[in-house]
């Protein structure tokens, strides 16, 4: 039976994904577990199958625009596709008892910590990349790229988290000179077979719930569209800290931290996020003023 509240959550998550290009599995899976009481295995399985429907849309756009490094995608796929399938198979081999559900819940919490850390590091990595010569052709490093695919695929197979934000962080660390459009396009395209592999494995071995997946899709599809329409108006320095706060608070709760301490940490992080957003806005405003052309003097022809 379709769940309207899950569909509304999917609408919110889809909007965030369309707005920022990140946060899909990292938001939807913990929402299902913490807010709706869905068993972790069922939440991971249903969310990853829903992602299989969503991922090809963005990937197709970047493929047509030519912002995809196909050689990079090939080496990532060689690692991620089998490891994602193996990750789900590994989960299934441990059964579905309370101990396994708890282990999946804790693995999801750790994955959220890693993703939130990646969101905080990404601006610094991008600034370092901007100082490099982005016109130099990218030299693909097969073995390290294969290892990134294996690690990312395993995390996605077990937790449904990381096909976007985690993989982008690892690619930025390995290829700091990669153009940002190429980075996003490559990540989106490599995520299609990665998520498809994990989704097929979850359909075969996981705890897939059709009604739950359909509820997610009913909300997330229009949510992604609406978010994409508003994306040009979304300042990154506001959205990113908000995501970090939500992800870290969710991670603490999934790891079993008492609600009181989660609230304390969440409130502290929220204050820090507001300070960061305000100071960054002021710095950007000053930079725009300095870059603006001087106004012509009265009576002077321009």
Predicted TM-score (pTM) of this structure: 0.72
Sort residue 206 into left (φ over 0), alpha (ψ -120 to 50) or beta: beta
Chain length of the chain? 302
Q: What is the pLDDT of residue 226?
A: 78
Domain contains 302: no
Would the pLDDT of 181 be above 80? no
249 vs 264: CA distance, rounded Å? 10
- Residue 295 maps to a domain: no
pLDDT at position 147 is 94
290 to 29, 113, 283, 297: CA distances (angstroms): 44, 38, 11, 18
How many other CB atoms are found less than 10 A from the CB of residue 80? 32
DSSP letter assigned to residue 177? T
Q: Cα separation of 116 and 114, whole Å?
A: 6
Segment 226-273, tens digit of pLDDT: 776 665 555 667 777 877 887 788 888 888 888 788 888 888 888 888
Does residue 293 sit within a domain?
A: no
pLDDT value at residue 136: 61
Please state, in angstroms and rounded to a whole number, the distance separating the CA atoms of residues 177 and 143. 18
The H or E element spanning position 297 is: none
Band of residue 294 on the pLDDT scale cut at 50, 70, 90: low
- 193 or 295: which leads in pLDDT: 193
Of 49-53, 180-184, 220-224, 268-272, the poorest mean pLDDT is in: 180-184
Is position 36 within any domain? yes
Flag whether 294 is in a domain.
no
On whether residue 141 sits in a domain, the answer given is: yes
Number of domains into which the chain is organized: 1
> Considering the chain, what is the average pLDDT of its residues?
79
Domain enclosing residue 170, as ranges? 4-288
HEC states along 109-156? HHHHHHHHHHHHHHHHHHHHHHCCCCCCCCCCCHHHHHHHHHHHHHHH
Say yes or no to pLDDT of 135 above 60: no
Backbone angles phi, psi at 176, to 5 degrees: -65, -20
* 200 lies in some domain: yes
Grade residue 146 by pLDDT with cuts at 50, 70 and 90: very high
Is 158:91 a contact under the CB 8 Å cutoff?
yes
Position 301 in a domain = no
């Amino acid at each position: 039976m379709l769940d309207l509240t899950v569909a509304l959550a999917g609408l919110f998550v889809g909007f965030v994904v369309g707005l920022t290009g990140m946060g899909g599995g990292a938001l939807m899976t913990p929402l299902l577990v913490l807010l709706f009481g869905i068993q972790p295995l069922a939440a991971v399985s249903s969310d990853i199958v829903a992602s299989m429907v969503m991922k090809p849309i963005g990937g197709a756009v970047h493929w047509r625009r030519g912002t995809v490094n196909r050689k990079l995608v090939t080496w990532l796929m060689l690692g991620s596709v089998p490891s994602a399938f193996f990750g789900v198979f590994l989960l299934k081999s441990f059964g579905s008892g309370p101990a396994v559900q708890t282990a999946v819940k804790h693995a999801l919490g750790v994955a959220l910590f890693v993703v939130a850390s990646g969101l905080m590091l990404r601006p610094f990595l991008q600034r370092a990349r901007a100082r490099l010569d982005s016109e130099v052709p990218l030299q693909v490093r097969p073995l390290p790229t294969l290892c990134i695919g294996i690690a990312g695929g395993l995390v996605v197979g077990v937790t449904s988290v990381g096909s976007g934000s985690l993989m982008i962080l690892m690619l930025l660390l390995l290829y700091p000179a990669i153009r940002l459009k190429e980075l996003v396009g490559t990540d989106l395209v490599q995520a299609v077979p990665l998520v498809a592999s994990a989704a097929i494995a979850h359909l075969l071995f996981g705890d897939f719930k059709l009604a739950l997946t359909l509820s997610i899709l009913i909300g997330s599809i229009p949510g992604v569209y609406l978010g994409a329409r508003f994306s040009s108006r979304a300042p990154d320095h506001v959205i990113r800290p908000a995501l970090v706060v939500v992800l870290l608070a969710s991670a603490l709760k999934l790891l079993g931290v008492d609600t009181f301490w989660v609230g304390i940490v969440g409130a502290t992080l929220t204050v820090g996020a507001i300070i960061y957003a305000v100071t960054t806005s002021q710095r950007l405003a000053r930079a725009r003023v300095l870059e603006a052309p001087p106004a012509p003097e009265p009576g002077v022809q321009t």
